[in-house]
Amino acid sequence: EPEVTQTPSHQVTQMGQEVILRCVPISNHLYFYWYRQILGQKVEFLVSFYNNEISEKSEIFDDQFSVERPDGSNFTLKIRSTKLEDSAMYFCASSEQASGLGGYTFGSGTRLTVV
């Protein structure tokens, strides 16, 4: 069964450092998303991406965050200068349809720890 692949599975970084989280969405999906989940809290929407541009973003997704699809398969989330409160599980997701009627396929996540 097709899956969304995320790397690395764990990332420890020092406060103020830049991190790049990587994702390979399902190949025939056109819509890509990043979500995060702080320990014990809800899964929160960060950003959606379609046709090589951001289509929607949340208030969490400030200037420290950026996304990119550098080639035909990878989808990355960059945090420019990490803060302690950025520690969370970051999930990439993709979908075939814009309306989400087919549901979203999530990756297994990257656990980011900022120290």
Partner 1 sequence: TQLLEQSPQFLSIQEGENLTVYCNSSSVFSSLQWYRQEPGEGPVLLVTVVTGGEVKKLKRLTFQFGDARKDSSLHITAAQPGDTGLYLCAGSNSGGYQKVTFGIGTKLQVIP
- Provide the binding-site residues for partner 1, judged by CB under 8 A: 4, 31, 33, 35, 41-45, 48, 50, 55-56, 58, 89, 91, 93, 98-109, 111
In three-state secondary structure terms, 84 is: helix
Q: Whole-number minimum distance, CB 83 to partner 1, in Å?
A: 23
User: Rounded to an integer, what distance in angstroms lies between the CA atom of residue 28 and that of residue 40?
Assistant: 33
Q: Whole-number minimum distance, CB 16 to partner 1, in Å?
A: 27
User: Rounded to an integer, what distance in angstroms lies between the CA atom of residue 27 and that of residue 73?
Assistant: 7
Question: In this complex, which beta carbon is closest to partner 1, that of residue 44 or of residue 66?
Answer: 44
Q: Cα–Cα–Cα angle for 99, 100, 105, nearest 5°? A: 155
Residue at 20: amino acid letter: I
Q: Whole-number minimum distance, CB 57 to partner 1, in Å?
A: 9
Question: In this complex, which beta carbon is closest to partner 1, that of residue 28 or of residue 99?
Answer: 99
Question: In this complex, which beta carbon is closest to partner 1, that of residue 55 or of residue 81?
Answer: 55
Judge if the upstream peptide bond of residue 8 is cis by omega within 30 degrees of 0.
yes
Q: Whole-number minimum distance, CB 85 to partner 1, in Å?
A: 19
